[in-house]
Amino acid sequence: IFRETLSKRGVRVITGLGKYFRQIDKNRNGLLSQAALKEALKVFHLEMPEGDFESLWLILDDSKNDKVDYGEFTHAIFGEMNEYRKTFVRKAYMKLDFNKTGSVPMVDVRKCYCAK
């Protein structure tokens, strides 16, 4: 049900939620507490009954450390990329990794991408 609600709301909500997660992640560890996730959902008008939230939390907190990786949260919502998108991402990465090192430093990204 939650995934359906998000998909109806569109990409803007999901990307906004990701941006919000990064803003509230002060120590930059990629993890959210239960209270932080609940507050984020409230900010984006994605509230749900407490029982549903508890079920969602149990699914997301698979390591049982009372934290949720927000990358895993967005992956759980989006699911796997389709093959077309995977191919597109691979082509873009190959273009960025012109030294064929298997990693792309920011200096190389800046050579190929302008956010203006």
Rounded to whole angstroms, how far apart are CA atoms 114 and 116? 6
Summarised one tens digit per residue, pLDDT across range 16-25 is 888 898 898 8
Note whether 95 and 112 are within 8 A (CB): yes
pLDDT at 30: 87
Q: Which two tokens stand for residue 56?
A: 């969602």
Residue 105 has pLDDT above 60, yes or no: yes
Higher pLDDT, 36 or 79: 36
Domains and CATH numbers, the chain: 1-78 (1.10.238.10), 83-112 (no CATH)
Buried b vs exposed e over 55-83: b needs ≥16 C-beta within 10 Å?
Answer: ebeeebbeeeeebbbbeebeebeeeeeee
pLDDT in tens, 47-74: 888 999 998 888 888 778 888 888 777 7
Tokens of 57: 């939390």
Confidence of residue 87 (pLDDT cuts 50, 70, 90): very high
According to DSSP, the residues that pair with 68 across neighbouring strands are 32
In DSSP notation, 11-79 reads: HHHHHHHHHHHHHH-TT-SSEE-HHHHHHHHHHTT----HHHHHHHHHHH-TT-SS-EEHHHHHHHHH-
pTM for this one?
A: 0.60
